[in-house]
Structure 1
């Protein structure tokens, strides 16, 4: 089951708030969404088109990489929503951080936690 790719807002984000990235696999999306909805910190969530695959499955299949993340960020107008450009990759695909920095040179690329349950603590500590 897939979620519609796009940009989702949680806790009324503004131009200084970070973008998290995930795939459009429904279980992954809802895991991330539930964690960010439950915290008081505002975030943007870029949901990429991975043909409904989870982060690791999509990465292994070549459906979730730096080029595709950058393409979807541009397609959905991520840069138009923020003045402080920060994007947080799922920890399981930390290997993409260098490539994403090349694809999105105006953005600060961070590597987030591997599990959605750790997102609130990560955001409070790192961002």
Structure 2
């Protein structure tokens, strides 16, 4: 069967009301993602949208009541993991290095406790097909 899905457009993480300042500091200043202008009809919802270098987006959406995602997470790629580690230290952001697989990676938490994975390089996962 051929998939109707052609790719990933965006990923959303949730945050509590009033998250915009922390979202801009974490995703904008720390991760260096440019903030995007949200559609007018969605601005009243709060949150913020950020662009990724490949044209995809990361949305921070307000959730009421808010509970952080401690297992489910987006995974972002960086050019050099050691540079990301130094940046996290400079911003005072705790992280955990994970060496269980061959892809260099770390985990950190956004300001609201959501888990984020950061991997190094242009690793491309091979999709396994299910036997028919």
Per the TM superposition, whether the score is higher than 0.5 is no
Structure 1 or 2, whichever has the larger Rg, is 2
Structure with greater strand share of residues: 2
**Structure with the larger helix share:** 1
TM-score (norm. length: structure 2): 0.29
Please give the TM-score of this superposition, normalised by the length of structure 1: 0.30
